[in-house]
């Protein structure tokens, strides 16, 4: 069996484009409409995607309520509750929820995700993010220092270690359920963690048996050096913004090399750049679909959106036709994304309007507008040229996932790049990731299925 492209469906209320909510087919309540999400998850499952993916933001997106009023991004489900409901409405597809380490306790997090793994029969993944916005911190009484970049990643690494330690609380075989002897658990196979670290003190054990995947899949999405390092150390799946083949190859090689330096098999990490595909039956139709979305962007949204993505800088004294100003990126908040955008603006002499039109759809992710064939060509190039193990598909509009499933998936399948059907029932099984050995056990469980 040849290796297949891994595919995620990165669900967003009406689509990822900033003006997608104005699309004629958008539902008014898309962000809090469970039927909308169930439809999309079942659509991705019917197409045999590996997973659905949910992002998160734990605040309204801006203090500028005038800006907020122009975007649906202010209203959406909390991901853990949403993904648990999706677990009950699907059978095979993996389920990855983003939850920040900054505002949660590792014991709660370990329970949430292990519970989801039991509920879903082994389909859970946790996208570990650190939070960097002042707006989010203010909802948790946290001062500005919580945002310091190095702190956040050191704390996140410890957080991930504790969660994984708790997931190993029960070895396989820890629940003999011996009714005659009146013994449910074999306590010799249940372990308290007794973690005492820089940020956390957690005793354990977790009150759940080892979950169907051994451990849920750990996903990470940081692209800065600290983020790459955390991914290389802890993650099994990496979600990343890589808008060009060369950049994606650099990132891919770097993360796999870092993983090797941590003593890990580089093949134990799957790298999935985001892709924002605008698909048409013809090139012209694709361009027209994209133009329709772009025309829905108002200048005030475009400018505020750009300001947010440049770390909150003030553009109010500048016109849409001024060049993007030369600013320094601070040490608080997100770092890698603003740098990427500023480089792009400088190298191509972009105006403010040029840049906001470029990011409003894919937000710095890889954006492809074209036919199924041209999109498949580009995905195949990433996949075969060591730039990606798969892609997190970001539907642009309310019908973007339908377009991808109807047009691009058959083309990928025709090329032998995508599975015809599921041959596993767990997310690890879909991705070909091994079941991690329990730290307290002598022997590891066999993986459900290994990719050849």
**Is 58 among the residues that bind its own copies (CB under 8 A)?**
yes
* Residues in 198-237 at the binding interface with its own copies, rule: CB under 8 A: 200-205, 207-209
Kindly state whether residue 156 participates in binding its own copies, applying the rule CB under 8 A: no
DSSP one-letter code for 128? E
Q: Which member of 51, 55, 82, 231 binds its own copies (CB under 8 A)?
A: 82
Q: Does 357 bind its own copies (CB under 8 A)?
A: no
Question: Applying CB under 8 A, which of residues 89, 253, 313, 315 lies at the interface with its own copies?
Answer: 89
Q: Are 29 and 20 contacting, i.e. CB atoms less than 8 angstroms apart?
A: no
Query: Which residue number, 51 or 345, has a Cβ lying nearer to its own copies?
Result: 51
Which residues face 51 on adjacent strands? 8, 94
Min separation Cβ 363 and its own copies, Å: 18
- Residue 317 as a binder of its own copies (CB under 8 A): the answer is no
**Interface region with its own copies, contact rule CB under 8 A, candidates 85-93, 216-224, 279-287, 388-396:** 85-93
Q: Which of 1, 3, 91, 138 binds its own copies (CB under 8 A)?
A: 138
Stretch that binds its own copies, among 76-84, 220-228, 234-242, 437-445 (CB under 8 A): 76-84
Report the interhelical angle of 299-309 vs 336-348 (nearest 10°): 120
Instruction: Give CB contacts under 8 A, 24+ apart, made by 134-137.
Output: 134/332, 134/333, 135/59, 135/60, 135/61, 135/62, 135/63, 136/57, 136/58, 136/59, 136/100, 136/102, 136/103, 137/102
Note whether 72 binds its own copies by CB under 8 A. Answer: yes
Judged by CB under 8 A, does residue 451 bind its own copies? no
The answer to whether residue 69 forms part of the interface with its own copies (CB under 8 A) is: yes
Residue 61: Cβ within 10 Å count: 16
**Rounded to the nearest 5°, which phi and psi values hold at 49?**
-60, 155
Number of chain positions touching its own copies (CB under 8 A):
73
393 near 404, Cβ under 8 Å? yes
- Residue 426 lies near its own copies (rule: CB under 8 A): no
Sequence-ordered strand ranges (E) for 105-194: 124-129
Question: Distance of CA 190 to CAs 91, 102, 151, 417, Å?
Answer: 30, 29, 32, 42
Is 443 annotated to bind a ligand? Reply is no
Residues 95 to 114: which contact its own copies by CB under 8 A?
Answer: 103-105, 107-108, 111-112, 114
Is 224 flagged in the annotation as binding?
yes
- Looking at the Cβ atoms of 412 and 435, the one nearer to its own copies is 435
CA distance 171 to 165: 11
Q: Judged by CB under 8 A, does residue 263 bind its own copies?
A: no
User: What single-letter DSSP state applies at residue 309?
Assistant: H
Binding to its own copies by CB under 8 A, coded x per residue (else -) over 157-186, reads -------------x----x-x-x--xxxxx
Residue numbers in the known binding site for FMN are 56, 98, 149, 153, 223-224
């Amino acid at each position: 069996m040849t290796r297949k492209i891994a595919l995620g469906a990165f669900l967003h209320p009406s689509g990822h484009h900033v003006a997608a909510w104005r699309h004629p087919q958008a539902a008014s309540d898309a962000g809090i409409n469970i039927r909308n999400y169930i439809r999309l998850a079942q659509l991705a499952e019917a197409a045999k995607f590996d997973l659905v993916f949910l992002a998160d933001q734990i605040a309204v997106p801006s203090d500028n309520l005038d800006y907020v009023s122009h975007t649906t991004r202010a209203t959406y489900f909390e991901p853990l509750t949403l993904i648990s409901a999706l677990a009950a409405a699907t059978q095979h597809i993996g389920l990855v929820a983003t939850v920040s380490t900054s505002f949660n306790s590792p014991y709660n997090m370990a329970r949430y995700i292990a519970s989801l793994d039991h509920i879903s029969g082994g389909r859970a993944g946790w996208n570990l993010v650190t939070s960097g916005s002042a707006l989010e911190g203010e909802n948790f009484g946290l001062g500005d220092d919580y945002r310091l970049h190095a702190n956040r990643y050191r704390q996140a690494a410890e957080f991930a270690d504790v969660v994984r330690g708790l997931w190993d609380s029960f070895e396989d075989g820890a629940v003999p359920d011996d009714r005659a002897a009146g013994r449910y658990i074999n306590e010799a196979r249940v372990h308290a963690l007794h973690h005492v670290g820089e940020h956390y003190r957690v005793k354990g054990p977790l009150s759940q048996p080892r979950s169907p995947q051994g451990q849920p899949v750990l996903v990470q999405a940081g692209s800065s050096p600290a983020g790459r390092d955390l991914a290389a150390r802890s993650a099994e799946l990496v979600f990343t913004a890589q808008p060009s083949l060369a950049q994606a190859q650099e990132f891919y090689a770097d993360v796999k090399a870092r993983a090797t330096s941590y003593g890990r098999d580089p093949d134990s990490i799957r790298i999935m750049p985001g892709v924002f595909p605008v698909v048409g039956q013809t090139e012209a139709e694709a361009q027209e679909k994209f133009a329709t979305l772009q025309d829905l962007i108002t200048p005030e949204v475009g400018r505020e959106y750009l300001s947010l993505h440049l770390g909150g800088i003030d553009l109010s004294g500048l016109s849409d036709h001024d060049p993007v100003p030369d600013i320094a990126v601070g040490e608080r908040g997100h770092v890698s994304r603003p740098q990427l955008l500023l480089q792009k603006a400088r190298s191509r002499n972009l105006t403010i309007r040029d840049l906001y039109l470029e990011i409003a759809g894919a937000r710095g992710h890889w954006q492809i507008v074209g036919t199924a064939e041209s999109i498949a060509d580009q995905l195949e190039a990433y996949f075969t040229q060591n730039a990606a193990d798969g892609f997190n598909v970001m539907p642009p509009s309310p019908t973007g996932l339908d377009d991808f499933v109807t047009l691009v998936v058959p083309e990928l399948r025709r090329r032998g790049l995508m599975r015809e059907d599921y041959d596993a029932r767990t997310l690890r099984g879909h991705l070909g990731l091994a079941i991690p050995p329990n730290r307290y056990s002598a022997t590891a469980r066999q993986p459900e299925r290994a990719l050849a």
